[in-house]
Structure 1
Amino acid sequence: MRTHEETMTRHSGQQGLWVLAAVVVALMLMVNCDSSDDDPVPDAGVADAGTDAGTQCLNEVSCKDQSIDKLTLLTTVSTGEVREEQAAQGEFRTYIDARAGGLTPTMSYTYARFTPQGLAQVSVDDQAALARTDWDIAFRRYYIRVNSGTSGPSCVSVATTPEGTTFESVTAVASTWEFKTEAWYDPACTFSPDDSGLNGPLMRLSTFWTYTSCVQMTGDVFVIRLADGRHVKLEVTGYYDPTPQQVCNETGSVPQPSGSGQLRVRWAFLP
């Protein structure tokens, strides 16, 4: 009898272990089935250059028709080049051909997204870009806009650092910075112009330049929050070719030819 009871106890214990194992396996299957492609990327800092990181914040662009008219948003894709130039380790210096065909644009903005390899160009026209989340930033002449609010369906936002902030001094995101999306129209589609006197739209990066008799760089440093939560610090260093830009900054006038509309930006990812 004792032997029989010991045998029953061993069998019962083994059966219990099998049941416990089955429960664990079932729970693992439930977790895997609950996963989806919409889950956040665990390490957004090394996202692939082709990742459409803005899909989690697809929004309806407000006052779309008004923006198409006011900003002259076109359907011809820009042929402007985007390329990386020599830069210190850990940062990028990017050239963007934002001439768009001249002072009266015949081409769209030049669209791009921030990647660990540099600023990657996105081939899209202005009107199609209003429904696309695969771009972060767009350039045309002295206008630079990000993909959010009245500019696009994503949720890229911008904070302007305090006056006098240098690019090198920005090493982390401050809790006091206020990040804002593009909003050159209010909910009633009332237009907000910048202070250039040209009646252009008030964009979040509009203060990168000021005008006397040429486009001077202000040295403003911006921090851009991307749709996937990464942060980029950015300074626009040139609207003209480097030598004419230096002369413009120092004297308020620019020699010709100036190479206008060929922007250069300095930027880096923040931890």
Structure 2
Amino acid sequence: MSCVLRPLLFTCVGILLLVACKKDDVAPSLEDGKSTVVKDLAGDTLASIGDPPAGSVKEKRSFQLFTFRLSDRKQQFVKDAADSAAYLKNADWDLAFTNEYNSLVAINNGTATGTPGYGGPGQGAMVVIEKYYDQVTEAPSDEVFNGSGITAAGWDAGNGNGWYFYSRQNHICVPIKGRTFVIRTAAGLYAKLELVNIYLGNPPQVTNLFWPAPYLTFRYYVAEDGSRNLSTR
């Protein structure tokens, strides 16, 4: 190879690698023209699992639960027993974000013991589908929903029902790709949900334990006509 061509070849390879890296660092668009996309929804950002770093406004305590209504994106924090009595035992919400980093996402089902909506009128249910979000086009039957036994999705420690992996070594959450949650809402409508990230800015990779969280990014589609058609293509 000539001395003239060799530098040119190296330059081209370098450019290709740079372009590839930039593509990997950019999260794909969540917009499809039909789904509702929620970006960086702030959870209880003042709570901390461990001792916060010096100068931080965070405090070591439990994370406050909040509810979310799919129809209009209404968010309601539940801070004490009075809030719990006022906001949980009704069908005014569809999802509850609770536990560490508000990362456990529970349905509103009045018959599911141990869940936030227990004792209320909610008809919520959840089914896990091992497909990418845009590939899920139809909700299963009510028999499938009623028999699923899944009331929440959070850390997947091997059960196949969670939406992220968590490392006890670095304490970082890694979202699971290609897994969609089909929901029956509190009012009995059908929807699909993709939980995308828990960190501010929806970064493709997190290496910093203190990356701002919980700032939840997710998208969903509700079949408002009451059908099981969940196609968003």
Fold match by TM threshold 0.5:
yes
SS in 1 for 2:32: coil
Matching residue of 1:263: 216
Q: Which has the higher contact order (CA 8 A, sep 6+)?
A: 2
Q: Distance in 2 between matches of 1:100 and 1:257?
A: 12
Relative distance call for 1:87 and 1:120 in structure 2 (3 A) is farther
Going by fraction, where is strand more abundant, 1 or 2?
2
Matches of residues 71-220 of structure 1 in structure 2 within 5 Å? Answer: 87-95=31-39, 96-99=41-44, 101-103=46-48, 104-105=60-61, 108-115=64-71, 118-122=72-76, 124-125=78-79, 127-128=84-85, 129-140=87-98, 141=101, 142-148=103-109, 149=112, 150-151=114-115, 152=117, 153=120, 154-161=122-129, 163=130, 165-175=131-141, 178-179=144-145, 180=148, 196=157, 207-212=162-167, 213=170, 214-219=172-177, 220=179
1:32-88 CA distance string (max 9 Å, x none)? xxxxxxxxxxxxxxxxxxxxxxxxxxxxxxxxxxxxxxxxxxxxxxxxxxxxx9833
3-state SS of 2:73 partner: strand
Q: CA deviation at 1:155?
A: 2.0
CA distance 1:177–1:216, shift in 2 (3 Å): farther
**Displacement, 1:210?**
0.7
Distance 1:132 1:90, change over 3 A: same
The answer to whether residue 190 in structure 2 is matched with residue 236 in structure 1 is no
Counterpart amino acid of residue 132 in structure 2: T
Cα deviation digits, residues 99-146 of structure 1 (max 9, x gap): 35312446631211111xx42223554622442321111113122112
Sequence identity, in percent?
A: 20
Instruction: Tell me the SS of whatever aligns to 2:127.
Output: strand
C-alpha distance in 2, partners of 1:107/1:247? Answer: 24
The structure-2 alpha-carbon separation of the partners of 1:237 and 1:216, relative to structure 1 and needing over 3 Å to count, comes to same
**Does structure 1 retain, via aligned residues, the 8 Å contact 2:125–2:184?**
yes
TM-score, normalization: structure 1?
Answer: 0.51
Which structure shows the higher helix fraction?
1
The equivalent of 2:22 in structure 1 is: none
Contact 1:160-1:177 at 8 Å conserved across structures: no
- Tell me how far 1:158 sits from its aligned partner: 0.4
Whether contact under 8 Å (1:155, 1:227) holds in the other structure is yes
Distance in structure 2 (CA, Å) of the matches to 1:194 and 1:177:
26
| Equivalent position of 2:51 in the other structure | none
User: Are the aligned partners of 1:159 and 1:177 in contact in 2 as well (CA < 8 Å)?
Assistant: no
Tell me, in whole angstroms, the C-alpha distance in 2 between the residues paired with 1:194 and 1:247: 17
Equivalent-residue separation in structure 1 for 2:88 and 2:187 (angstroms): 19
For residues 138 and 262 of structure 1, the distance between their equivalents in structure 2, rounded to whole angstroms, comes to: 15
- Alpha-carbon distance in 1 for matches of 2:181, 2:151: 17
Separation in structure 2 between the aligned mates of residue 108 and residue 124 of structure 1, nearest angstrom:
6
Aligned match of 2:184: 225
SS in 1 for 2:204: helix
CA RMSD, Structure 1 to Structure 2 (Å) = 3.3
Q: Distance in 2 between matches of 1:194 and 1:265?
A: 16
- Cα offset, 1:175, TM superposition: 3.9
Report the equivalent of 1:71.
none
Aligned-partner residue type, residue 75 of structure 2: Q
Instruction: Provide structure 2 residue ranges, at least 5 long, that are not aligned to the other structure.
Output: 1-28, 49-59, 224-228
Cα pair 2:126 2:151 within 8 Å, conserved: no
Counterpart contact for 2:106–2:151, Cα < 8 Å: no
